[in-house]
Amino acid sequence: MRLLYFAWVKEKVGHAAEDVEVPGDVATVAELIAWLKTRGPEFAHAFERAEVIRAAVDQTHARHDAKIGDAREIAFFPPVTGG
Amino acid sequence: MIRIQTEDFDVGAEIAALRSGRTDIGAVVSFTGTVRDHAGQETGDITEMTLEHYPGMTETELARIEAEAKKRWPLQASLIVHRVGTLKPGDNIVLVVTASAHRDAAFDAARFLMDYLKTHAPFWKRESGPSGDKWVEAKESDDAATTRWSRNNAAG
């Protein structure tokens, strides 16, 4: 699964993209965040306030309770500030 | 139509292109968002703004928002142009143009497009100034502006 990070999430994680093998028992966006937080201090820091982080599953906005299924690409980012 | 670009745009030229060869349009509304030199009261505290986006999702999301506007209002044409990269105070950031037979649809659709763009399109602004760099925080008032439209038939 490809993971993408944007804005300050990217800065805190330290990179923009990576391919990961997600454990089989990780079923939702929230569970994916919980698993990511165990991957090192930079992830624990980036996802410390998980409730403010937004996610997109295959380039569609997704809530934290959304199933990740067999998604190819999941992105994490702060609330958007364009316009 | 949707465009993401680093280069500037010319509002007059964009509107002229949209209207070119058409005589069925009775109202054209445009909104231009530009870079301010201040976040709060003090002027001059922003010297540069960098816009990051999510290539792929940005285009998909803007197309979805534009399609929703066309479902809600009888638009004859619409255009969204959003710049990315590093901008200076006074620079253009975003352009929304809507064209319809009558003004109400054009005004409402332009507002709808901007409100949804601000809360759904994956862009992020970072401001630079004398005191360093700072990611711009999302405003609750923007969420409220979008929620207003979702009372009937939400776009997302």
**pLDDT, chain B, mean:** 94
Mean pLDDT of B31-60: 91
Q: B81 and B3 in contact (C-beta within 8 Å)?
A: yes
Contact B122 A82 (CB under 8 A): yes
What sign has the CA pseudo-torsion A69, A71, A73, A77?
A: negative
Q: Contacts of residue B135 in chain A, CB cutoff 8 Å?
A: 7-8, 78, 81
Q: Which residues pair with B31 in a beta bridge?
A: B96
Cα distance from B30 to chain A (closest Cα, Å)? 13
What sign has the CA pseudo-torsion B142, B148, B151, B152?
A: negative
Contact A77 B82 (CB under 8 A): no
Residue whose C-alpha is closest to residue A74's, from A66, B18, A11, B133: A66
Is any Cβ of chain B less than 8 angstroms from the Cβ of A69? no
pLDDT at B38: 86
Question: Which are the contacts of B40, defined by CB distance < 8 A and separation ≥ 6?
Answer: none
- Walk me through the domains of chain B, giving residue ranges and CATH numbers: 2-148 (3.90.1170.40)
Is any Cβ of chain B less than 8 angstroms from the Cβ of A61? yes
Confidence band of B140 (pLDDT split at 50, 70, 90):
confident
In angstroms, the first-to-last Cα distance of chain B is: 20
For the cut 50, the answer to whether the pLDDT of residue B156 exceeds it is: no
Which of the residue ranges A43-47, B46-50, B70-74, B130-134 would you say has the lowest mean pLDDT? B130-134
Is any Cβ of chain B less than 8 angstroms from the Cβ of A78? yes
| pTM of the model as a whole | 0.94
